[in-house]
Amino acid sequence: MVSKYSVKYKSFSKIIEEQIKNFNSRGEMLGNAQRNVIKLFSVDREDLILNIKSFKVPNLVNQFAYKYFRKSKARRSFEYAQKLQKLGLGTPDPIAYVEFPSATLFKKSFYVSEHLEADYTYRDLTHNFEIPHHEDILRAFTRFTFQLHQKNVLFLDHSPGNTLIKINNEDYQFYLVDLNRMEFKELSFKERIKNFERLTVHKSMVKVMSDEYAKCSGESYDQIFELMWGETQKFQEKFHKKRQIKKKLKFWKK
């Protein structure tokens, strides 16, 4: 076993390792566990709930790659969370990562973070336009994304379920989750706007985000909207094509 803990949570190491050891039989499941499994665990500190994400065992090629050449998804999640916090950007507190390599290959890994109770996710904004102050929240989210870009953060999984939203008297706070795919570099204009492509199918939301990003960046609204809406449409076309192919493959397998 290989593990690393944030300094402030080192005292929880035995508890965490015990929960991971019994991960399959303990904890409260969070979400639908299609690929990876997330469970919540209570500890003796009232204000802390552990959010433990179990990454599935990778394919054989990646077992070799993660063993010798690449950092695991759990380790990347932990290190990227620490980087985000150093930049003053929101993400649930990183606690630890734990890996279980074999002698020759990489096997299971776990990322442990503080569980954050959110008021909404960005996905809620795409489904419910009756949320109070919907446009204000959307504009604040756009400013948050602009801040990411200004700090040279490209969140490759910037998708509806991966931003948590907490509201305190119309103060909107945003927290990124599912962090294992990020790049830290200076971004071109196109990379910045393309980063919005997964977020919504609604043209009205793209218009609001384009308007707010134009205000933040000083760039032309028309230029931003044309690119953002175009990239959104391209992404949706690719997404639906992939879905159709998967359905056909499932049919032939039957």
Write down the pLDDT at residue 44.
Answer: 79
Q: Pairing state of beta strands 94-100 and 120-121?
A: unpaired
Distance CA 110, CA 55 (A): 6
Element holding 14 (H helix, E strand): helix 13-21
Residue 181 has a pLDDT of: 95
Domain coordinates in residue numbering, the chain: 2-114, 120-241
Q: Is pTM, for the whole model, over 0.85?
A: yes
Cα–Cα nearest to 84, from 94, 74, 99, 75 = 94
Query: What DSSP element (H or E) covers 247?
Result: helix 221-253
DSSP annotation of 57 reads P
In CATH, what number does 120-241 get? 1.10.510
What CATH number is given for 2-114 in this structure?
3.30.200
| Tens of pLDDT, residue by residue, the chain (254 residues) | 788 999 999 999 999 999 999 998 988 998 776 778 999 998 877 789 999 999 988 788 888 888 888 899 999 999 999 999 999 999 999 999 999 888 888 888 999 999 999 999 999 999 999 999 999 999 999 999 999 999 999 999 999 999 999 998 889 999 999 999 999 999 999 999 999 999 999 999 999 999 999 999 999 999 999 999 999 999 999 877 776 666 655 555 55
**Distance in angstroms (rounded) separating the CA atoms of residues 188 and 75:** 27
Q: The sheet that has 2-5: what strands, in order across it? A: 2-5, 94-100, 108-114, 49-55, 37-42, 28-30
| Residues whose CB is less than 8 angstroms from the CB of residue 68 and which lie 6 or more positions away in sequence, other chains included | none
Contact 122, 161 (CB under 8 A): yes
Residues forming beta bridges with residue 99, ordered by sequence position: 2, 109
Q: Any alpha helices (H) in 55-150, and if so which ranges?
A: 60-68, 73-86, 122-127, 134-150
